């Protein structure tokens, strides 16, 4: 007979809490906390072998995405005691939810406002930067230009002189899409939204017109993506969709790289099917140095998957900061107490999870 574990093991695979406060809190609660190498905090530098070594015997795994290590069913099966995979951020598309559900492992995320609200703000900044042509105007003046041949800019909102304003199309009216719609209200633009899973009352509350995807693409001056990545939405925007957009339209993706066929995006920009784009997320991260998107100049504005990383009045940029760390820690400890935590993204796993773990307090 094997000896029981003295304390539940928590494996921290992406150590973002540089203060160490959350790790000490978990240790004080009775956990054995195994923390990954600090180099993993960037989301890179782990291998499957080192990952398995760190997480061996874990009752809980905590952290964000590690590039190059998909959380597949065979990987999850390496950890027979695992009861929760506690994702530090909002996204979890690298985790095989069906496999986790079959194994009776719950997956949670941390949808904190400081993260998703920042993504909405960043999208708004992308939009203004492109519509007002700020980068080109800055370059024009720095190169000695003035008002002669100055780059033009778009007026956003409807006016009393009869100008109807632009139309912004939001694909996905969840947290980020709804906040973006709210940010746009004072600008007097027309807002179209496509989300077949949201009730009419939410469209009304955020002053957005419900539209099908084809109508949104055809009528919008700005198309911006804010939906989850899953089997239904993977490459939801490709050659056919770019072909339906106006040649003057701009396209923004601050959701997930896999939502867009990036070859189709390049050809749409290079061939003039659309006017400009702003991208924070990529199918492969970071994008390969030979990616054609990097050679499009002012037609595309790029960011390093950082829309959710901000500071609050100064300091180091974090994804959710203390709010996120606090939520993640409480979710994890709740599961280790044998109770169902909040923010479970695979609720179909709960029947099997309850049979295995409910009421079994490890703390």
**Burial bucket for residue 177 (CB in 10 Å: 0-12, 13-18, 19+):** buried
Phi, psi of 211 (to 5 degrees): -140, 150
Which residue has tokens 């094997």? 2
Residues 6 or more apart in contact with residue 3 via CB below 8 angstroms? none
Phi, psi of 274 (to 5 degrees): -130, 165
Q: How many helices (H) and strands (E) does the chain have?
A: 13, 12
| Candidate list 83, 175, 210, 256, residue with the active-site label | 256
- Core vs surface per residue 280-312: b (16+ CB within 10 A) or e: bbbeeeebeeebebeebeebbbeeebebbbbee
**Burial bucket for residue 53 (CB in 10 Å: 0-12, 13-18, 19+):** exposed
Q: How far is CA 79 from CA 52, 147, 348, in A?
A: 8, 65, 20
| Candidate list 67, 285, 330, 358, residue with the active-site label | 285
| Candidate list 83, 190, 305, 309, residue with the active-site label | 305
256 is catalytic: yes
205 is catalytic: no
Phi, psi of 158 (to 5 degrees): -65, 150
Token readout for 53 is 């070594």
The answer to whether the CB of 187 falls within 8 A of the CB of 210 is: no
Token readout for 245 is 């957009």
Q: What is the DSSP letter of 147?
A: S
175 is catalytic: no
Residues 6 or more apart in contact with residue 174 via CB below 8 angstroms? 195, 198, 226, 227, 228
Strands of the chain, DSSP E: 9-12, 32-35, 60-63, 84-87, 106-108, 167-171, 190-194, 209-210, 222-225, 250-253, 276-279, 300-302
Residues serving a catalytic function are 256, 285, 305
């Amino acid at each position: 007979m094997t000896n029981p574990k003295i304390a539940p093991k928590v494996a921290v695979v992406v150590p973002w809490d540089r203060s160490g406060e959350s790790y000490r809190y978990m240790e004080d609660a009775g956990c054995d906390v195994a923390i990954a190498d600090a180099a993993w905090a960037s989301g890179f530098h782990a291998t499957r072998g080192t990952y398995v070594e760190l997480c061996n015997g874990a009752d809980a795994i905590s952290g964000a995405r590690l590039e190059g290590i998909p959380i597949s069913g065979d990987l999850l099966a390496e950890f027979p005691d695992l009861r929760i995979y506690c994702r530090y951020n909002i996204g979890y598309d690298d985790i095989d939810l069906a496999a986790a559900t079959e194994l009776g492992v719950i997956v949670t995320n941390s949808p904190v406002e400081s993260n998703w609200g920042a993504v909405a703000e960043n999208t708004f900044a992308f939009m203004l930067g492109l519509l007002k042509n700020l980068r080109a105007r800055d370059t024009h003046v720095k190169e000695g230009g003035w008002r002669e041949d100055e780059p033009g800019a778009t007026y956003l909102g409807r006016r009393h002189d009869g100008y109807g304003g632009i139309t912004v199309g939001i694909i996905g009216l969840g947290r980020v899409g709804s906040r973006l719609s709210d940010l746009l209200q004072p600008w007097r633009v027309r807002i179209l939204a496509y989300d077949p899973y949201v009730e009419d009352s939410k469209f009304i509350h955020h002053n957005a017109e419900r539209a099908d995807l084809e109508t949104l693409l055809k009528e919008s001056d700005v198309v911006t993506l804010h939906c989850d990545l899953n089997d239904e939405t993977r490459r939801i925007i490709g050659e056919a969709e770019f072909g339906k957009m106006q040649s003057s339209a701009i396209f923004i993706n601050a959701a997930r790289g896999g939502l867009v066929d990036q070859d189709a995006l390049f050809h749409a920009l290079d061939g003039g099917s659309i006017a400009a784009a702003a991208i924070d997320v990529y199918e492969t991260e970071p994008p390969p140095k030979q990616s054609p998107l990097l050679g499009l100049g002012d037609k595309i504005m790029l960011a390093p998957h950082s829309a959710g990383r901000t500071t609050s009045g100064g300091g180091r940029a974090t994804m959710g900061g203390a709010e996120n760390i606090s939520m993640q820690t409480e979710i994890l400890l709740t599961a280790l107490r044998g109770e169902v935590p909040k923010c479970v993204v695979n609720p179909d796993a709960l029947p099997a999870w309850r049979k295995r773990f409910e009421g079994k307090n490890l703390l």
